[in-house]
Chain A
């Protein structure tokens, strides 16, 4: 998979989603 297929990747995706507003 390339980044262009999947969009920008973050190694800290879990922490970043946790600090964003909940769904």
Chain B
């Protein structure tokens, strides 16, 4: 019962106990931080976790140094079109993508360090158009939805080790605009998306088909929901959703994240767990990794939830030097990247 699982949290008890500041990373040349992410970087047979930061017109790569310090390795200048977001590619080394555009994404570009070619840094477009959603997939693939005046195209592009795009695969498009994608964990050929009219769509994305298998409805209380994570268990499809435009209700408070179980055979669904915003807080830009969710609130604080408990487990108040603007999980949920607009990024152990 979702209503019963909503328990107002005691903000004073949350604070920072479960988040420990590990290190701070400051890009002095950055005027406005747009996004932050982590990625694996292989050099001389050694794999390390690097940090990627983006401001409007450049993307920087940071390597770990001794004593929790970070050193900038390289900055890619991306030109006139502003960076909107970093698009990490899970389980891929030395390659990251960025989405560029003004109000919406107009181009996706890969950025690469070729250590075999005298540490040369490269960049090149992967896709251009009116792109509504993009997600990096396993095995160096990228899925995106884009719109022309007549139709929507949903496409998976494979990238080679040198970043160049290989054959693309067109997926069967639903009529509704796809706003977000999520891989179904443990099922290499299953992909889901959320649509502008509260739908969940399921595709089979093996090499032969891009078949649209099922359309299911999320519910009218949660317009334009965003899928963050999906996994299949006991014949049900569990989806972690955030609800940026949901209205506050007395029974459920202000919904931030929900775990919903869908039966793909019948398209019926049931709410499993419900995570609310702390009382008095609004607005959120969220990120999910494993069973952890984080979001920046309009107050300038960052809230962290345990999605299995449905509880807010940590609240980072606005830093004395400025409000938080970005919250992203590293490739593991044990590390939270918290960013400020001036380019400062703090790494917290969770």
Contact = CB atoms under 8 A, between A and B. Distances in A.
Interface string A1-23: 10001111111011011101011
Interface in B207-236: 209, 211-215, 232, 234-236
Interface stretch (B111-119, B259-267, B297-305, B327-335): B259-267
Interface stretch (B88-96, B121-129, B268-276): B268-276
Contacts of A22: 172, 209, 211-213
A13 B187 CA distance: 12
Given A1-B261, A14-B190, A17-B202, A8 B266 contact: yes
Given A17-B214, A22-B211, A7 B268 contact: yes
A1 B270 contact: yes
Given A1-B261, A8-B265, A18-B204, A23 B214 contact: yes
Interface centre among B172, B236, B272 (most CB of A within 10 A): B236
A23 B265 contact: no
A13 B237 contact: yes
A9 B263 contact: yes
Given A7-B265, A10-B265, A13-B263, 15 more contacts: A5-B268, A5-B270, A6-B236, A6-B266, A8-B266, A9-B235, A9-B263, A9-B265, A11-B235, A13-B264, A14-B189, A17-B202, A18-B213, A20-B213, A23-B215
Given A6-B269, A9-B263, A13-B265, A1 B236 contact: yes
A20 to B, nearest CB: 8
Contacts, number: 65
A6 to B, nearest CB: 4
Nearest to A17: B213
A15 B269 CA distance: 20
Interface string B68-90: 00000000000000000000000
A8 B250 CA distance: 33
B235 A10 contact: yes
A2 B266 CA distance: 13
Contacts of B209: 18, 22
Given A11-B235, A13-B265, A6 B270 contact: yes
Nearest to A6: B263
A14 B272 contact: no
Contact of B187 (A7, A10, A14): A14
Contacts of A17: 202, 204, 213-214, 264-265
Contact of A1 (B187, B204, B211, B272): B272
